[in-house]
């Protein structure tokens, strides 16, 4: 029961992390108008600004997580990113907002590597997939709530005079929204101090020396290289179609912001959570059957369905049918990720898990968050030079990155199975 309590709190924390990361995606218009930004500048706020320090500090924080209390690191990270989200609402120009978004990334860098390591030590091997799948639901709950809450809050606040906050003065709708959604995370940070720190299974006292970690990664570069390459591409696809999803319906189909937030949020929250759980359960099932490549095989099955969906969903002329297609797109898109994390955790020795996860997240974040939304914006701004071609940019990036992800997964499968057998891992 204690293990699932910890997973529940970590999932709530991940949900808040994604709300704080993505809520600005539903406020593209108001923020651009207020601060005088173009699509490319806004994409930097969604991607590079967040990924820059998320990646830079992620590895040192993960090394600390492999040697000290992962629970306390998670709690501190939640408190930091929550405060920085609120500060985003106080930014008066692009530079200030960029720096505040960097701060959000610094805080979130503390969560994922420590959470993956905690979950792997909290559960027996046969249940790791479902536990990671449950945790990864936070990704889709967070996005769903970000567009639902963001759409409702901004829509409601835009109909009223600017809110007056103690010490902060009057804030416009988008500014007030960021302050309102940021501060409750401080409560989640305190709650995360209430679960126990599990014993590190097979850990080395004082942590693994950096040269030993580097040597292990070099010896297994074929596994880690193909795994990282595959999920860089799949995560890039995911960011391309999801980060710009709300703006696509607002800009191309002229749907009201609140309507987009509610409908898209419900689809992402529902089908993303179901797909995440299904991906974890299917990976556990393949693992129980003795398939050493079961986690990779699970991701391949999902990616085969994901690629065509990413290529056509934003090109459907009817907005209702296009929105409907987001259901299978999110189901298969969310299915892919728990097996990837499970692969990483099962293959990596316990004393290296947080650091290896941080390196994995470092590279994936740079590519997917740094270039996922920005690649779409660059094609829209500089290839088409037309804001109303956004849906074509989303389809191009989604199709190309999806096919590349599938290619690397197919390369990885035999390599991973051979490496697991060589190390006599189940």
Q: Where are the domains of the chain?
A: 2-195+207-422
For residue 425, how many C-alpha atoms fall within 13 Å in the half-sphere facing its CB?
A: 20
Roughly how many angstroms between the first and final C-alpha of the chain, as a whole number?
26
- Distance in angstroms (rounded) separating the CA atoms of residues 377 and 383: 10
The average pLDDT across 401-412 equals 96
pLDDT above 70: residue 405: yes
8 A C-beta contact, residue 407 and residue 271: no
Fold entry, domain 2-195+207-422? Growth Hormone; Chain: A; (1.20.1250)
- Distance in angstroms (rounded) separating the CA atoms of residues 285 and 123: 16
* Torsion angles phi and psi, residue 171, rounded to 5: -130, 135
Q: What is the pLDDT of residues 296-350, one digit of tens each?
A: 999 999 999 999 999 999 999 999 999 999 999 999 998 998 888 888 888 888 7
Please report the pLDDT score of residue 207 as a whole number.
58
State both tokens at 270.
């529902």
pLDDT above 70: residue 135: yes
Please report the pLDDT score of residue 318 as a whole number.
94
Helix or strand or coil: residue 325? helix
Please report the pLDDT score of residue 346 as a whole number.
82
Please report the pLDDT score of residue 321 as a whole number.
94
**Whole-structure pTM over 0.85, yes or no?**
no
Return the closest-CA partner of residue 287 out of 241, 245, 229, 346. Answer: 346
- Distance in angstroms (rounded) separating the CA atoms of residues 370 and 105: 12
Q: If residue 272 lies in a helix (H) or strand (E), which one and from where to where?
A: helix 257-288
pLDDT above 70: residue 370: no
Return the closest-CA partner of residue 82 out of 23, 20, 153, 145. Answer: 20
Phi-psi region of 36 (alpha: psi -120 to 50; beta: other; left: phi over 0): left
Question: Please, which residues have CB within 8 angstroms of residue 225's CB and are 6 or more apart in sequence?
Answer: none
Q: What is the pLDDT of residues 68-127, one digit of tens each?
A: 788 889 999 899 989 999 898 888 888 888 888 888 877 777 887 888 888 888 888 777
pLDDT above 90: residue 190: yes
- Distance in angstroms (rounded) separating the CA atoms of residues 185 and 138: 14
8 A C-beta contact, residue 313 and residue 329: yes
8 A C-beta contact, residue 140 and residue 28: no
């Amino acid at each position: 029961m204690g293990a699932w309590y910890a997973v529940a709190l970590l999932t709530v924390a991940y949900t808040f992390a994604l709300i704080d990361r993505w809520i600005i995606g539903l406020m593209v218009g108001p923020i651009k108008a207020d601060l005088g930004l173009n699509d490319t500048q806004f994409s930097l706020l969604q991607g590079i600004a967040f990924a820059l320090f998320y990646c830079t500090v992620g590895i040192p924080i993960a090394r600390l997580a492999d040697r000290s209390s992962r629970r306390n690191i998670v709690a501190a990270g939640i408190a930091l990113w929550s405060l920085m989200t609120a500060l985003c609402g106080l930014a008066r120009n692009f530079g200030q907002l960029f720096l505040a978004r960097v701060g959000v990334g610094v805080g979130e860098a503390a969560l994922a590597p420590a959470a993956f390591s905690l979950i792997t030590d909290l559960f027996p091997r046969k249940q790791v997939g479902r536990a990671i799948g449950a945790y990864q639901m936070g990704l889709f709950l967070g996005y769903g709530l970000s567009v639902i809450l963001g759409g409702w809050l901004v829509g409601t606040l835009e109909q009223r005079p600017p809110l007056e906050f103690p010490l902060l003065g009057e804030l416009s709708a988008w500014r007030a929204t960021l302050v309102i959604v940021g501060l409750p995370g401080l409560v989640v940070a305190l709650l995360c101090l209430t679960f126990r720190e599990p014993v590190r299974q097979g850990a080395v006292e004082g942590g693994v020396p950096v040269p030993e970690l580097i040597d292990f990664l070099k010896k297994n570069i074929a596994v880690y290289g193909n795994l990282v390459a595959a999920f860089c591409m799949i995560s890039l696809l995911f960011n391309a179609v999801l980060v710009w999803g709300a703006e696509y319906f607002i800009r191309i189909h002229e749907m009201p912001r609140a309507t987009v937030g509610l409908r898209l949020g419900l689809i992402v929250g529902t089908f993303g959570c179901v797909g995440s759980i299904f991906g974890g359960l299917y990976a556990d099932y393949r693992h129980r059957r003795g398939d050493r490549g079961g986690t990779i095989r699970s991701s391949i099955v999902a990616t085969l369905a994901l690629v065509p969906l990413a290529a056509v969903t934003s090109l459907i002329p009817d907005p209702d049918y296009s929105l409907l297609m987001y259901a299978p797109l999110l189901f298969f898109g969310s299915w892919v990720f728990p097996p990837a994390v499970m692969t990483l955790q099962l293959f990596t020795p316990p004393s290296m898990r947080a650091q290896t996860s941080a390196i994995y997240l470092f590279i994936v974040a740079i590519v997917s968050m740094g270039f996922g939304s920005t690649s779409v914006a660059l094609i829209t701004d500089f290839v088409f030079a037309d804001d109303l071609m956004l849906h074509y940019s989303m389809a191009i990036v989604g199709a190309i990155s999806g096919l590349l992800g599938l290619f690397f997964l197919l390369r990885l499968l035999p390599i991973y199975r051979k490496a697991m057998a060589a190390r006599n891992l189940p």
